[in-house]
Amino acid sequence: MQSAVEKMRVGDQAESAAETAITAAGWEVVNLNKLVKNFRFADLLAKRGSTRVMIQVKGTETGEGKFGALPEPARALHALAGHLDAHAAYALVHLAPDGPVIRFGAAEEAAALAEQRIADYPGTRRYHLFIDDFEHTAEDLQELLS
């Protein structure tokens, strides 16, 4: 089990990697956690033109790229983004030894996947999403939102 300090380190590295990738793909990015310590619903706000997307970043160092993610926060992010005329996405950041692997998916898709995995394996299942669940990169983030 990871300590709180270790979770924070992984989270910070994942957010930084996602922010760097999204910025390199031509988006303006605001790290919401720097504005409000540990913003509850999303970590990043990305903007390109009139398109805005609120992004929850999940980071892991597990060998298989497994992530803990519950459906309720994903649905809350989707609802909040809808009220703000924005999109809602999850960024899965696998901090692999040879560099980060980053994939994006819609928050509502993350919620559905997590809910299905919880139903399939009731109890204390720790991992709900996998890096291979999503295929979009920062370069094709706009495609995900279409």
Q: Where are the domains of the chain?
A: 4-145
List residues bridging with 42 in a β-sheet: none
Judged against a pLDDT cut of 80, whether residue 124 lies above it is answered with no
CB 68 within 8 A of CB 62: no
CA distances from 94 to 35, 50, 56, 131 (A): 25, 29, 14, 7
Choice between 8 and 28, residue whose per-residue pLDDT is larger: 28
For residue 135, give the DSSP letter.
-
- Name the 3-class secondary structure at 19: helix
Residue 15's pLDDT band, with cuts at 50, 70 and 90, is very high
Those residues with Cβ within 8 angstroms of residue 30's Cβ, 6 or more apart along the chain or in another chain: 44, 45, 46, 47
Note the pLDDT tens digit of each residue in 45-93: 999 999 999 999 999 998 889 998 899 999 999 999 999 999 999 999 9
Residue 125's pLDDT band, with cuts at 50, 70 and 90, is low
Q: How high is the pLDDT of residue 1?
A: 62
Q: What CATH class has 4-145? A: alpha beta
Nearest to 112 by CA among 65, 57, 70: 70
How far is Cα 134 from Cα 110, in angstroms, rounded to an integer?
A: 9
Judged against a pLDDT cut of 90, whether residue 140 lies above it is answered with yes
Q: How high is the pLDDT of residue 116?
A: 93
**Residue 28 Cα to chain centre, angstroms:** 17
Percent of the chain with pLDDT over 90: 75
Judged against a pLDDT cut of 90, whether residue 8 lies above it is answered with no
How far is Cα 89 from Cα 44, in angstroms, rounded to an integer?
A: 10
